[in-house]
Amino acid sequence: MSRKWARKKVLFVLSLDTEEEFDWNGDFPQDNCSVENIDCLPVFQSFCESLGIRPTYLVDYPVAANAHSAAIVKAIATSGSVEIGAHLHPWCTPPIVGPNTERESHVVNLPLDLVRQKLDALTDVIKRNIGVIPTVFRTGRWGINSDILRILMQAGFAVDSSIYPYYANEYFSCMESCDRPYWPSLENPDVPGEQREIFELPVTAGFNHPDFPFWGRIHRGLSSPLLKPLRPVGLAWRTHALRKIYLSPELATADDMQSLLAAAMAANQPVMHMFLHSSTLLPGRNEYTSDHSDRDDLYGSIRNVIAYLLDNADVTFCTISEAVAQLKSGFAGYLAPAQAAR
Ligand SMILES: [Zn+2]
């Protein structure tokens, strides 16, 4: 078989949480949010265009409400090679009421009426100031549940991307979530179901071996408090025996992202979904890049990953909605015909 025929067909998606700068050691900012990092977006967009990437900017309230940053996003939106979605940081989206602790920073823990009101405020300001009706969505700080999924459907959203596979903390869990694109069940959005109105496109996360659910269970076992004194997760990481990897240049080296992509392709994952935060583009104002050389490394890392993919697969660059449209129309036979048709 020639190499050409052995190449996988994959879709590449990059989503960018487009949001205010954030001091992760401070309180959740509720007003006067700084959105200076949005000034870095035009350069980032040019960089993406040079590689063929069609980014999806998931925009939050402070960015859409600020005239200067909204104008920058609006200019990029008119380029035709991007998508504008919505990203809900509940702590800084009106109406601002109730406690402002770590627990309430996760959308899944808020009263449903409050979520509806905040989602309305967010979509309204995106429509008004950026001129786009968003149909793709991500919660701030990840996580989704049945109630939020229903609210999104009622509000006209067609795709959610709030699943953060193989991660949990005390406020939400994606440990049991499907790690590949699917129609989420309304009873349990972690697994595929019957509804065909809203699709789930998780970010790419997994391990340096195919069969991520299997290795997820092993990794979870190694993470057990009982084994903690032996530090098995650190040992597995250092020896490369098992590495949990996220497809983000903020969290993983280019080498680790390549390992993840190799395993994801071996497991027939159809979509390689990279993610990062807009604030990372402004060195010194985020937790990932402290100076310009860090930012250069970040760009280099993305370039490296794209070169690897192009060497090893037939890649189609997509926005989130474009990727979902491809899957629905039968891309690589990934969705069974009955699922793809609608
Ligand atoms: Zn965010």
Q: Please name the residues in contact with 266: beta carbons below 8 A apart, sequence gap of 6 or more.
A: 210
pLDDT tens digit string along 93-140?
A: 999 998 888 899 999 999 999 999 999 999 999 999 999 999 999 999
Ligand 1 centre distance from Cα of residue 140 (Å): 4
Residue 57 corresponds to which tokens in the numbers above? 């900017």
What number of other Cβ atoms are within 10 A of residue 43's Cβ?
12
Instruction: Please name each of the domains of the chain with its CATH number.
Output: 3-208+243-340 (3.20.20.370)
Ligand 1 centre distance from Cα of residue 240 (Å): 30
Q: Is 288 in a helix, a strand, or coil?
A: coil
Ligand 1 centre distance from Cα of residue 280 (Å): 11
Ligand 1 centre distance from Cα of residue 340 (Å): 30
CA separation (Å) from 77 to 59, 81, 133, 314?
11, 8, 12, 27
pLDDT at 335: 87
pLDDT at 114: 97
* Rounded CA separation 130/17 (Å): 16
Side-chain-side CA neighbours of residue 183 (13 Å): 16
**Mean predicted confidence (pLDDT) in 42-68:** 97
pLDDT tens digit string along 132-186?
A: 999 999 999 999 999 999 999 999 999 999 999 999 999 989 999 999 999 999 9
Ligand 1 centre distance from Cα of residue 341 (Å): 33
* Rounded CA separation 331/317 (Å): 13
pLDDT at 304: 97
pLDDT at 22: 83
* Rounded CA separation 245/35 (Å): 29
Ligand 1 centre distance from Cα of residue 313 (Å): 31
pLDDT at 253: 96
Tell me: pLDDT of 67 over 50: yes
Ligand 1 centre distance from Cα of residue 288 (Å): 14
Ligand 1 centre distance from Cα of residue 329 (Å): 31
pLDDT tens digit string along 249-286?
A: 999 999 999 999 999 999 999 999 999 999 999 988 77
- Residues of the chain with pLDDT > 90, as a percent, come to 76
pLDDT tens digit string along 179-220?
A: 999 999 999 999 999 999 999 999 999 999 999 999 999 989
CA separation (Å) from 251 to 165, 255, 278?
14, 12, 14
Ligand 1 centre distance from Cα of residue 138 (Å): 8
CA separation (Å) from 212 to 70, 196, 243, 270, 273?
39, 25, 11, 14, 15
